[in-house]
Amino acid sequence: MNLLLISNSTNAGEEYLKYPIEQIGKFLQGVKEIVFVPYAAVTFSYAAYEAKVQARFNEIGIKVRSVHRAKDPRKMIREAEAICVGGGNTFALTKKMQEQGLMKAILRKIKEGTPYVGWSAGSNVSCPTICTTNDMPIVEPESFKAIGAIKFQINPHYLDANPEGHAGETREQRILEYIEANPRRWVVGLREGCMLHLHDGKMELIGPRPMRIFKKGVEIFEVKAGDDLSFLL
């Protein structure tokens, strides 16, 4: 499999997809056209999302084609040179992907070696489930099951601190609840500005911040770029 799983599309104060585009370009070297899944968009149209991604992908010379334009989205996935799933609301994304049968279609393509790029919600749906998303369940999907390209769960946009004056649970506390209910599952807190690259059975963390690791019965620890991540595979 060949996956690039990105925590967030945009760093504070930067333009959309500006920080990861160089890495995306390297990852997609030789690709001319990518099939885009825009279904995480809620407050703007799929066409607008496609255009927004295309504007950035112009810099790496790749044509973006959105599945929302296809009469047969699964066929479009089957014929894809590469696949990209954008961020937004994970529940909206999951519901539409399940309705169109895209989860299984994408998994088959990923297993064949087709490159997959996802950020935020697009990283969430690469996991076994979407249970470690940060999003509100604004719609109800068939289930929480996702693509299952990886064996662990990602929590994108991972934050350490609670905002001043906020008495609610921290991100860490929420993940501790998840691993209590799901003791066999590893969860990674992927901080902003970071991404995971899985290729040829090996995985590496790319980015300036360490990644936080959770599993029931294991003391919370962190890994940094260059560390061995084989325990997650």
**Residue 110 CB: number of other CB atoms within 10 A?**
21
Strands 195-199 and 187-191: unpaired
Which residue from 51, 101, 110 is spatially nearest to 83, judged by alpha carbons? 110
**How would you classify residue 30: left for phi > 0, otherwise alpha for psi between -120 and 50, otherwise beta?**
left
Which is catalytic among the residues 7, 9, 68, 135?
135
User: Of 9, 120, 123, 126, which one is the catalytic site residue?
Assistant: 120
Question: Identity (one letter) of the amino acid at 54?
Answer: Q
β-pair type (218-223, 195-199): unpaired
Among this protein's residues, is 157 annotated catalytic?
A: yes
Task: Tell me if 55 sits within 8 A of 90, measured CB to CB.
Answer: no
The residue annotated as part of the active site, out of 157, 199, 200, 228, is 157
72 catalytic residue (yes or no): no
66 catalytic, yes or no? no
Residue tagged 């997809």 (tokens) = 17
Residues forming the active site? 120, 135, 157
